[in-house]
Structure 1
Amino acid sequence: MAETALQLGIVGAYMLVALAVGVVAYRLTDRSAEDYYLASRTLGTVVLLFTTFATLLSAFTFFGGPNLAFAAGPEWILVMGLMDGIIFAVLWYVIGYKQWLVGKRHGYVTLGEMLGDRFGSTPLRVLVAGVSLVWLFPYVMLQQKGAGQAIVGLTEGAVPFWVGAGGITLFMIAYVAVSGMRGVAWTDTIQGLFMLSLVWLAVAWLLTDIGGAGVATEQMGAANGEFLALGGGLYTPQFIISSAVSIAFGVTMFPQINQRFFAAGSKTVLKRTFALWPVLVLLLFVPAFMLGAWAVGLGVEVPQGSNVVPVLLGEFAPTWFAALVIAGAMAAMMSSSDSMLLSGSSYLTRDVYRPLKRAFGSGSSDADDAREALIARVGVVVFATLSFVASLYSPGTLVQIGDTAFSGFAQLTVPVALALYWGGTTRYGMYAGVVGTQVFYVLHVFPVVETLTGLAGLSVALSGTYMGWTPGVVGILLGLLLTVGVSLVTTAAPDENRSVYRVDGVEAD
């Protein structure tokens, strides 16, 4: 009982510190939407780098990644640590830099605003926001599920799953209610540095205890010789490339990441951050995933539904240190969750509520602004509560849930990139690229849709024709064909504005 109280006390204390930082940031935050959602576009290199980093340090990466390395081998480092880091850095430059340029010029806060303005289409704006909110749901649920599993593993079942999942749900609701992007960015920076330090300390503690990295790797190979070879088993070339591409493309369209493309203080900040990104990713993912892989040779027994890292630390580290690492992992989940809910509320109010309000002829007033703020907060509460309930019944693993969300978002990347760079993209091409790929992907990942449409078995039949390539990657290629093909055979609508995305002179450097 004393150990459980100590563990929960350390985790709770850290969460309160993060909340205190958010309260301080709230006192310094303007009440304008631009400041609340984008910190007035003033983020510097260190803060932008670490707020992006910490926002992605979710249950998928910190628990799901080591779990996959434990089950299938350390090649997951190649997927998430190397390939995904480089691909996302390139997309950060190609898409993020252009978004920053046009966002600063026109004052865009959301992706939907940017696309709706270019194509003169409120329905497109609502569509993109709706798709984003749909795929945000399982990723928020992923954080709650990871938190519940972390508390169960840390306390060896003394505290039930629903307490951990419910605790992080209440915390992130409270945090988003008092803190905007400024507070999120500040706490993200602290949590990113904290998490990075703790992972390396955990590795050092483990290796010191067992005799070094050589011994740990030798024991891993003795337990499973395939872990010392590159490829094989799950890690086919198609799986490695599909996973890396889907995750990187999906991250680019995550609302909480995509909005950070608008928040940089200058183009120099953007260029520095995407250059440093692959290095920072490797610094975290290599030690975290190797903890999972090394655990195979250490005789660690991971109960069904638990995660390898808490179990490993429970056996080889003192109670207080294991609790501190789990607190860091919870911080990673919180930094993802609060950013998701903050961005989700901006999509809900600015891209769904505002267009509907204008459609019904309501003008702007102080009462409307107050109502919008209320809708944003109510939306956060409802969204977080529903995802918490879903986390209690979701049968998928953390990697499965995360991969589903990543690939869903990934379907948006190509149409958005074409809109930014190809003036020939038309409104109907965008509709085809967005709707067509989403329908294609949904039919593969949600069998219930097949039942409702009378097309039972379609996902099995289709997925078997791609020679190992995932539906997510096939959907990305389909999006390219649909967006380009339909744009070539349709003409631009009269209210489309191709000049919106033009940048020249110093801005384009």
Structure 2
Amino acid sequence: MTGDLAFGGWSGVLIMAVYGLIMLAIGLITYFKNKNIRESNTEYYLGGRGLSVMVLFFTFYATQYSGNTIIGYAPQGYRIGFEWLQSITFMILVMVGYLLFAPRLYVLSRKFNFITPSDWLATRFRSKGITILGSILMLYGLGNYLLEQLVAVGQGVSGLTGGTVPYQLCVVFFIVIMLIYSWLGGMRSVAYTDTMQGIALLFGVFILVIGSIVYFGGLPSTADYMATFTPEKLGVPETDGIVGWFSMLVLVLIGASIYPHAIQRIFSAKNEKTLKNSLIGMAWMPFVTTGVILLVGIIGINAFPDLGEMESEKLVGMMANAIASENLFFYWAMILLFGGIIAAIISTADSVLLTFSSVISKDLYGRYINPKATEHKQIFVGKITGIIATGILLVIAWYPPATLYEIFVLKFELLVQIAPAFILGLYWKQLHSKSVFIGMVVGTIIATVMTFANITPFGIFSGLWGLLVNLIICVVGSLLFNISKSEKVEVDKVIGL
């Protein structure tokens, strides 16, 4: 093989076609095996609450580790160096966040037949304001996350093919595939494709890091290069960097653990033991996924020096393309990586789209706009609005407005504002509904203004400042104003386990 060998041509097209056909086949098989899938919210959005340990583990894994991890995290490691070790830490903290509420919320989801995360808010607080605002914040986070995946698809394929396959064409192709199988099979299709995609992702990541070490010299040569040319990426960050590090850990601990699509997977577990076993397996994934991707980003500093911010977004594709140029084995290994990365990105996008549709159809349309709508009609409305939302985001993704890391952070700034209602509501019976709503409103306004004005006092993310004020209002308001006797009775019915 010669040094100028690149991806593209029939090999790249073949892998794209094969993955697309497999996803479509899963959607068709699921549809024909479950004809009532169009008639029931439980079947369509939760897979009948029957996901096994392996399927639940891989749908958690493929959802948690996707475009923002593979395509976005390596460039961030390239840009800031070993400071990006925090990516391993915050992925561990996400699991800690789940354990704060997932087992208890699962029990309640079975007791009250929750379909969406907003069902919990509506059942716990019986407040129209909290339910609607919470749903809107979830939709913002989900829309932002879906945008992240669409950008990642384009950046990944564009880099991996050396520009042979246009960015926009890749995005459109995989969006169409995703919409078809999600429309046909709902959560079952999504979970089964996630299993395939999670396995492909694990394989691809390890082949990439092995090839990077073999052909780019690994960490020793990269560390020597960094010490000479970019010592700031090798040393301990300044005080502002450390504060930013810890604020990121807190932001992700809270924000990622209350991802609406992850919560919907909690509701989909076959039983509590299945949920706990899948989360135990997930506890190991930060080391074998995020840690490995960090190595790729660090090695890239030496392999492709002096890349600009947007140029570095294509780092993974550039490294895979260079490795493929070395010999026939790595050529085909990187072709498989190419398919695995795209499949993994789509696995997150389909999960996000499914939950986005469920919030629109069940929480807003079915609960407030047309309460008499059948579940079949709710599902249809969710499918249509999902397509419309994807089309709008596709227009934005056509020329991405920011790096994947910036998009990744932005979704948490507002999503974390639902945390007091979501987590405190599980344990504190005296939580005052009006205080929760006011706190959520004020926190959202503060986070929005500070985010768009780029105000980050002491290097702490604006979403955390909003959350701090939000939490103070919730706690102080609940201590000053007692809930009524009738509210106490209703709350005791919900969380008086």
- Give the TM-score normalised by the residue count of structure 2: 0.90
Map Cα deviations across residues 153-182 of structure 1 (whole Å, 9 max, x no partner): 122223322112222222221121112212
1:80-119 map, 5 Å: 80-82=87-89, 84-119=90-125
Q: Distance in 2 between matches of 1:257 and 1:279?
A: 17
Give the 3-state SS of the residue equivalent to 2:459 in structure 1.
coil
Kindly indicate whether residue 319 of structure 2 is the aligned counterpart of residue 312 of structure 1. Answer: yes
Equivalent-residue separation in structure 2 for 1:6 and 1:294 (angstroms) = 27
| Partner residue, 2:161 | 155
- 1:348, distance to aligned residue in structure 2 (A): 0.8
Report how far residue 11 of structure 1 moved. Answer: 2.4
Paired residues in the alignment total: 480
1:253 and 1:485 map into 2 onto residues whose CA distance is: 23
Paired residue for 1:353, among 357, 365, 387?
Answer: 365
Write the deviation string for residues 291-349 of structure 1: whole angstroms up to 9, x where unpaired.
Answer: 11111112356574441010111112244433321221111110111001111111111
| Counterpart contact for 1:7–1:320, Cα < 8 Å | no
Of 194, 211, 219, the match for 1:205: 211
Provide, for residues 348-389 of structure 1, a one-character-per-residue CA deviation record: whole Å limited to 9, x for no partner. 11100012245xxx635xxx4443232111111101100101
Alignment partner of 1:342 out of 347, 354, 368: 354
Query: Residues 194 and 500 of structure 1: is their aligned pair in 2 closer, same or farther, counting only changes over 3 Å?
Result: farther
Report the identity percentage. 24
Give SS of 1:236's match. helix
Shift of 1:34: 1.1
Task: Pick one of 125, 134, 142 that aligns with 1:136.
Answer: 142
Superposition map of 1:245-284 within 5 A: 245-284=250-289
Q: Is the 8 A contact 2:207 2:333 kept in 1?
A: no
Q: Which of 280, 288, 292 pairs up with 1:287?
A: 292
Q: Which moved more, 1:283-292 or 1:37-46?
A: 37-46
Contact 1:87 1:248 in 2 (8 A): yes
Structure 1 unaligned blocks of 5 or more: 447-458, 505-509
- Correspondence list, 1:227-242, <5 A: 227-232=233-238, 236-242=241-247
1:453 corresponds to which residue?
A: none
1:363 partner letter:
K
8 A contact 1:149–1:164 mirrored in 2: no
Q: 492-501 vs 84-93, which deviates more? A: 492-501
- 1:301/1:9 Cα in 2 relative to 1: closer, same or farther (>3 Å)? farther
The separation in 2 between residues aligned to 1:120 and 1:153, in whole angstroms, is 49
Structure 2 residue identity aligned to 1:316: I
C-alpha change, 1:211 and 1:398, in structure 2 (3 Å) is closer
Quote the residue 2:48 is aligned against.
40
Match of 1:382 among 374, 388, 394: 388
Report the CA distance shift for 1:172/1:500 in structure 2 as closer, same or farther (over 3 A).
farther
* 1:412 match: secondary structure: helix
For residue 126 of structure 1, the aligned residue among 125, 129, 132 is 132
Query: How many Å apart are 1:128 and its aligned residue?
Result: 1.3
Determine the structure 2 residue equivalent to 1:449: none
Q: Which residue of 2 aligns with 1:68?
A: 76
Per-residue deviation at 1:101?
A: 1.0
Out of 396, 403, 406, which is 1:400 matched to?
406
- Aligned AA for 1:478? V
Please state if 1:488 is matched with 2:479: yes
Deviation at 1:230, TM superposition (A): 3.6
- Quick check: 2:27–2:189 contact (8 Å CA) kept in 1? yes
Q: State the distance in 1 between where 2:416 and 2:363 align.
A: 20
The 1:324/1:159 distance shift into structure 2, 3 A limit, reads same
Counterpart contact for 2:198–2:344, Cα < 8 Å = yes
Distance 1:374 1:238, change over 3 A: same
CA-to-aligned-CA distance 1:405-451 (integer Å, 9 cap, x gap): 023212211221111110011210220232121111111223xxxxx
Query: Shift of residue 186 of structure 1?
Result: 1.7
Pair 230,190 (structure 1): closer, same or farther in 2 beyond 3 Å: farther
Matched, 1:53 2:61: yes
Aligned to 1:451: none
Please point out which of 492, 495, 501 is paired with 2:494: 501
- The equivalent of 1:363 in structure 2 is 372
Distance in 1 between residues matched to 2:217 and 2:171, nearest whole Å: 36
For structure 2, the residue ranges without an aligned partner over 5 or more in a row are: 1-5, 326-330
Q: Which amino acid aligns with 2:138?
A: S
Change (3 A) 1:374 1:206: same
Equivalent residue for 1:168? 174
**Deviation of the 1:14 alpha carbon:** 1.6
8 Å Cα contact 2:115-2:264 kept in structure 1: yes
2:10 aligned to which of 5, 8, 19: 5
